[in-house]
Amino acid sequence: MLGLMQNHALLVTNFISHGARHHANTEIVSVTVAEGTHRYTYKDCDARSRRLASALARYGIKESDRVATMAWNNYRHIEAWYAISGMGGVTHTINPRLFPEQIVYIANHAEDRLLFADLTFVPLLEAIWPHLKTVEAVIFMTDAAHMPQTKLPNVMCYEEFLQTGDANYPWPELDENLAAGLCYTSGTTGNPKGVLYSQRSLCLHTFGMALPDVFGLSAKDCVLPVVPMFHANAWGCPYLTPAVGAKLVLPGANLTGEALHKLIIDEGVTTSAGVPTVWLGLLQYVEQTGQDFGKMKFTVIGGSAAPRAMIETFKDRYGVRVGHAWGMTEMSPLGTFNTPTLATEALDEKGQLDVACKQGRAVPGVDMKITDDDGNELPWDGTSFGHLLVRGPWVVQRYFKGEDDAVDADGWFDTGDVATIDPMGFMQITDRSKDVIKSGGEWISSIDLENAAVAHPKVQEAAVIGIAHPKWTERPLLVLVMRPGQTITLSEMLEFLSTRVAKWWLPDDIAIVDEIPHTATGKIQKTALRDRFKYYVFSTEKVE
């Protein structure tokens, strides 16, 4: 027997339509590249998105055609997002921070027909244009007055292109399993892989985000997604905010601490989301200027583990709670979220902070487990390290144009992370499987060691890699970026770490560098560090 309920397709345009109808006058505030700050409403956004969808259809974009964007978080990017997916196309967000050859690869692999771009990327596009095989034209996301002088042969103005569409265009009823979005992994090894989201998977992901134990947003909130829309769809924020009616603030290209702080104060931001490297700059600015975070009481941190010291600083000095999150492009991206429970609130202050440093519990819709090298499931005891596997309705089944499924026979996707899960269900990433340090048959978590080291007041950033060792196979090298004017010795660092990590985890040496390399999505680039230090020999200063 089937249920007797209405069968409305789960489509991403439902969110912007809902925002336009039920939160019509709620603002979207954008910092543009060349036109200053722009303000309008969800009702305006829906109307312009419909017109753009009509313009794309009139141009000749058909169902499942890929249309790319290379843009910052701004209102035109939102419109393009909804327009492309809403008329049946596939919105392909390109990460401009990738190497040019990687951008060429993914644009050609996706077979993008059009490319919407911010003015920032004119030089990049001019350089790679001869290598793009399928892109027919570039639509610059600006008005006629700010169109760039460019060598590109086929360019259009966004506002002029928009006017070729019908303002009364109705959102079509699509199959909810139709492809809607395409994001490529950052490709730290080999070519990036495409993850093709469906209308249904993106909607279910949004519902999961909206739960009180996840983002927990409402129409009383003002949200600043600092995480770019080209980084796993800004973690879904542009779908979530119209769904709940929250004010949306889009920061554009200027992500300095000063610029972000001004937006937070001027617009009354209550919630933000970004990677740790962004918050390092923002916290430094606030500390140096003696300011606070105004109405902001909550920030989501993901992309890489938030250092314990950062979580403490946000909470104790500024009254901002950090919601630790974990996920990946292959998961749309949300997998776990860290929100206090009755059990954690019964812990003392140190115990609560210990739990807050973990990546959190599985979001409803996601299942997870940890296994040993032979595939045997490990216990949730908080100490057993294992390979983290996930499955669920917004987890990848197969990569775009892939020949084989990316999951095992039971539907489990191997994330490539090594993790523990405690008896309360809180998961903690201890390493990437390729980054874990294996010393004398035991595993050392480079992430835990990094987070312990960065708590030192002289340290700005830390990274840990394994260096070959004749006796122990590998031993940790601690790579440090110091705060301005600061220095540190190995002995001093070992003394600091001795009460924070196991003795056999202590690094055999430290290396001071001016800068730690990062991937296009803000993660520490361990491959580059291992290449730089591949001939490194530990000093004899090692303190026992």
Q: Which residues are catalytic?
A: 185, 330, 438, 443
CA dist 30 and 142 (Å) reads 13
Query: Is 477:507 a contact under the CB 8 Å cutoff?
Result: yes
Q: With H, G, I as helix, E, B as strand and everything else as coil, classify residue 28.
A: strand
Bridge-based pairing state of the strands 194-198 and 179-184: antiparallel
What span, in angstroms and rounded, lies between the C-alpha atoms of 541 and 507? Answer: 11
Strands 386-391 and 367-371: antiparallel
3-state secondary structure of 261: helix
Pair 533, 525: CB distance under 8 Å: no
Contact of 280 with 287, CB cutoff 8 Å:
no
Beta strands in 50-154 (DSSP E): 66-70, 90-93, 114-117, 137-140
> 423 exposed, middle or buried (CB, 10 Å; 0-12, 13-18, 19+)?
exposed
Residue linked to tokens 């080291």:
453
Collapsed DSSP state (helix, strand, coil) of residue 4: coil
Question: Do 251 and 227 form a contact (C-beta atoms < 8 A)?
Answer: no
- What sign for the dihedral angle of Cα 246, 395, 422, 388? negative
Containing 283, the helix (H) or strand (E) segment is helix 276-289
Which residues, including other chains, have CB under 8 Å from residue 94's CB and lie 6 or more apart?
68, 69, 70, 103, 106, 107, 115, 184, 230
303: left (phi over 0), alpha (psi -120 to 50) or beta: left
Q: Is 310 left (phi over 0), alpha (psi -120 to 50) or beta?
A: alpha
Query: Using an 8 Å Cβ cutoff, are 129 and 104 in contact?
Result: no
How far is the C-alpha of 159 from the C-alpha of 277, rounded, in Å?
Answer: 34
- Cα angle vertex 81, ends 76, 83, to 5°? 90
